[in-house]
Homo-oligomer: A and B are copies of this chain.
Amino acid sequence: MTENSLSQISLTKATIASTVEIQAINEKGESIDVQISGEHPLTLYFDKREILTLMTLGAQPEALALGWLRNQKLVNSPDEIAAIHVDWETESVAVTSKLLKETGVSIWEKTDKSSIFDKKTTTSGCGQGTVFGDLMTQIDATTLSHAYPLSDEVLYALMDKVRKYESIYKQAGAVHGCALCSNSGDNRGDILLFVEDVGRHNAVDTIAGQMWLQGLEGADKIFYTTGRLTSEMVIKCALMGIPTLVSRSGLTQMGYEIAQKLNMTMLGRCQGKHYLLYTGFERFHQQPSTPTAHTTQLA
């Protein structure tokens, strides 16, 4: 990957309004104005082939499209991409490969990428997600860095910063937020990227796209999500090379099993001064505290 992929890709910046106002009636019979999250269909075309329609808040549609293609392993590097053009008039995003632009031959003709459409898995993260290809097979080839452990001090600082960022959620609700945070250098604990979307996986995919556009690596980062720690969340985090995953929600069995397999450092139920460390214990440094008791509580 090049240092500055952004400048090499022809990009629109087609952000649209994140909230709309509607009228509702409350329990007192009062007519009130309420802000709801915007939600727009965006059909993704890759080298002129229609892939699927995403429903999105529409804040960063170019990064969403790129990140979706990245997380589905349809693109292996931002260097493969020539252009990402969003047109809200036609509710579409057209992604063009350098191969097509430079040779006139699409990736569908030159590669075996079409075969990945054969395998569908519906994930439960949130319902029924689509994963083309077999992401699970990628996991065995993935090793996460141990060079950047997380301390509870940095965790608390991060949670505090995330709380201040959640603008659309506070305004309109019904969105999921994701953040990419630094875990090294002077800006350790800082939020580098923050994305909200009506779909949690859209938010993750948008972060993945932005990481490529901005040339950011995963090893010294922390991934924060407001959503549950599901298998798909863990897998996507691993594919971005991020060793540490943090959520204010709980986890599912598959998310737990995959994080264990990957030896990812995963924390959930992070709220206020509370958290639970589920996996990857050796990458987490805790301040010395009172000696341990053995108790039971909710995941």
Residues of A within 8 A of B (CB): 20, 22, 24-41, 52-56, 120-130, 152, 170-174, 197-202, 228-232, 249-256, 273-278, 281, 286, 288-299
Contact = CB atoms under 8 A, between A and B. Distances in A.
A127 B128 CA distance: 8
Given A56-B124, A171-B298, A252 B198 contact: yes
Contacts of A28: 289-290, 292
B296 A33 contact: yes
Identify the 4 closest CB pairs spanning chains A and B, nearest first: A126-B126, A55-B124, A127-B201, A124-B199
Contact of A278 (B22, B202, B293): B22
Question: What number of copies of this chain does the assembly contain?
Answer: 2
Given A174-B252, A273-B27, A202 B55 contact: no
Contact of A52 (B35, B36, B122): B122
B281 A25 contact: yes
A122 B54 contact: yes
B34 A297 contact: yes
Contact of A299 (B34, B125, B127, B229): B34
Contact of A174 (B36, B228, B277, B281): B228
Most interface-central of A27, A293, A295, A298 (chain B CB within 10 A):
A27
21 contacts: A22-B299, A24-B299, A25-B277, A26-B297, A27-B273, A27-B289, A34-B276, A35-B299, A36-B250, A53-B121, A55-B254, A56-B124, A124-B197, A127-B199, A127-B200, A128-B129, A128-B199, A173-B250, A173-B298, A174-B250, A174-B251
A299 B230 contact: no
Nearest to A72: B128
A259 to B, nearest CB: 11
